[in-house]
Chains A and B, each alone.
Chain A
Amino acid sequence: MVAETAREFEALEAQAQTLMATFGNAGHEAVAPAALQPADVYLDVIGEALRARCYVFTDPDGDEYCLRPDLTVPICRLHLERHADGVDKAKYCYNGSAFRFQPRGANAAHPREFRQCGIESIGSNEREKTDAHTLAIILEALKVAGLNEWKLRIGDLGLFRALLSAIDMPERWRERLRHQLWRPQAFREELVRLTEAPASHVSGMPDKLIQELAPDKQDEAQRHIARYLDQQNIELIGIRTLEEISRNLARIAADQRAERLPVATANLIEGYIGVNAPARAAGARVKDLMRDTGVDISPALESYHKRLQLLADLGVDVTRAEFSAEFGRSLEYYTGFVFEVLVPDLGKRSPVAGGGRYDGLMRMCGAPADVAAVGGAIHTERLLKAVRG
């Protein structure tokens, strides 16, 4: 991208001032975290895929840094610098550059460098209330900036997690499904595998050895495996211990003996994933799905409805909100409510604002435990374009 013209710069600055004033009035403290961030935190949260999406580089000391791809992680780190355990309540707002590599080439809708203006609320345990306030403040800021026509897309990973917890299945399968939550395609494949042959993927492993392993007898399993390695003349190298390897082999042995996941259960999960409806109707549809199969996720559903009601009480027109069960599964740090503000002219791939709940992120950034946190950000260049029409 060529440097902005002075005029664009001024227009964006003026718009940012308007947005920040709205955030300030709502009690958010303006902060300016560093643009240059240690790559470690991001690599831990997003994984090596980060390198395909961001500007990561090595400095002369050999340390890896990245140009921040968003401002949420930098705000979490800033909060932790102020409060070591991270649980203190705080409300922040910011306006600053973010940087993303655009593999299909950069353009006006998907620039390499753009400015985000947003808010974060950390440490408030009144989750539905803080979710609703966050979205309401973002919408208010958009309105003050001149945007009136929008549509809302919402999701709730809390419902998904509750569903996985409530369904009856071995814990190790649940872990496998949770692990794939972020990859819809792999999740589906895993689900199919559990219903067809949970242990079909062991070809090449020492079958006879696995047959001998009893999951509840760890010591014996370890002895079996040590003897096998010895017989095969395989050296034990690397950081994984014999105990780790044998514990996992014992799980595989358990899978081989387990009943399959009932098809009805897989259908329920698929049915949930397929829910796509106006916000209120979606809640009712999920409730029906659960009632038919006797799975109880009522606390998560109540939380969903409570949040919607709070949004309505705050003056948000929830009839403009569309729920999608799939939504929110692309960014690994979201844990609950997620939202996206869409403008018809810009299309579905270019939301003008978005955000959600990320209760696990503070811990990934170094807090001793999870901390309740939710935020939202406005893509300021897109907003300017949308407002100008």
Chain B
Amino acid sequence: MTERLQLAIPSKGRMMEQATGVLGEGGVNVRKTGNERGYRGEIEGIDNVDVLFVSASEIAWYLKTGKAHLGITGADLVQERMTDWETRVEIIKPLGFGHADVVVAVPDCWLDVRTVAHLDELAGGFRAAHGRWFRVATKYVNLARQFFVGHGFNDYRIVESLGATEGTPAAGTADLIVDITTTGATLKANALRILDDGVILKSQANLVASNVAEWTPRIREAQNEIMSRLGV
């Protein structure tokens, strides 16, 4: 990828529409090249940019490894996939869509649990009663762990969950969850409640730059052009 800026954006669904929409509003018009089903594109009027249509969950990895110079992805994925995200990437601009919170939620019937500190106090008794630590279902393994470390809570086990996480406490496969929520309706429907201090991250889609990608002067120029059109 000599001398060409690689811009990674989500490859399908609402995320792709919103990403191309926001770019378009700023005059950065993305056009697919070749086949309509293909995964490559270009930007009108900036000739040394390749647009890569990538699965939304992989864009963070493209930025982390430097395969892309710029990308559009959620803060949740940036922070989950890179323990050292602050050095690897730079958040250039929040884009105003894809709003969602990563939260800790417990069964609403746990009247005695409002905060992480309460979980910590209960952990010993829970283990004595059930022969195991609390199980936390999540796909945000790293975010959950960092958050709990920061709150001095350590007596739990993570159960990795890649879907239907909200259902795990009722099903008995986990006791509480760390998951993403937009309106909280799904949590409520599953008889769960967000802890009072349980918002781990308020996430939205961001334009992100990779610090580890190879930046040549020509690629910088292309970036500057994109950023000035977007008003950054």
Once bound together, how far apart are the Cα atoms of A229 and B108, in whole Å? 9
Q: Which residue of A lies closest to B136 (CB)?
A: A48
Stretch at the interface among B27-35, B36-44, B50-58, B145-153: B145-153
Q: Which residues of B contact A47 (CB under 8 A)?
A: 133, 154-156
Instruction: Evaluate contact between A201 and B122: CB separation under 8 angstroms.
Output: no
Q: Are A235 and B109 in contact (CB under 8 A)?
A: yes
Q: Is the CB of B124 within 8 A of A237?
A: no
Q: Is the CB of A51 within 8 A of B145?
A: yes
Q: Which residue of A lies closest to B193 (CB)?
A: A234
Interface of A is mostly: helix
**A contact set with B: CB distance below 8 Å:** 43-44, 47-49, 51-52, 175-176, 179, 183, 185-186, 201-206, 209, 225, 228-229, 234-240, 244-245, 248-249, 252
CB pair A48–B154 under 8 Å, yes or no, is: yes
Quick check: is B95 within 8 A (CB to CB) of the other chain?
A: no
Q: How far is the CB of A202 from chain B (nearest CB, A)?
A: 8
Within the complex, the shortest CB–CB distance from B209 to chain A, in Å, comes to 24
Q: Which residues of B contact A (CB under 8 A)?
A: 107-112, 114-115, 117-118, 120-126, 129-130, 133, 145, 148-149, 152, 154-158, 169-170, 172, 175, 190-191, 196
* B111 partner, pick from A44, A209, A238, beta carbons under 8 A: A209
- Complex-state Cα separation, A99 to B154, whole angstroms: 21
Given contacts A48-B158, A248-B122, contact A203 B114 (CB under 8 A): yes
Give bound CA distance, A237 to B145, whole Å.
24
Q: Across the interface, do A179 and B156 meet the contact criterion of CB distance under 8 Å?
A: no
How distant is the Cα of A49 from the Cα of B157 in the complex, in angstroms? 10
Whether the pair B130, A237 counts as a contact (CB closer than 8 A) is no
Chain A, Cβ-Cβ closest to B145: A48
Q: Which single residue of chain A is at the shortest CB-CB distance from B135?
A: A239
Docked-complex contact A48 and B148, CB < 8 angstroms: yes
* Bound-complex Cα distance A225 to B124 (A): 23
User: In the complex, which residues of chain A have a beta carbon less than 8 angstroms from the beta carbon of B169?
Assistant: 237-238
The complex places the Cα of A51 from the Cα of B125 at a distance, in Å, of: 23
Are the CB atoms of A236 and B156 closer together than 8 Å? no
Say whether A43 contacts B149, CB under 8 Å: no
B124 touches A175 (CB 8 A): yes
Q: Are A48 and B157 in contact (CB under 8 A)?
A: yes
18 contacts between A and B (CB under 8 A): A48-B154, A179-B121, A179-B124, A185-B152, A201-B115, A205-B114, A209-B111, A229-B111, A237-B107, A238-B110, A238-B172, A239-B172, A240-B110, A240-B126, A245-B112, A248-B112, A248-B125, A249-B112
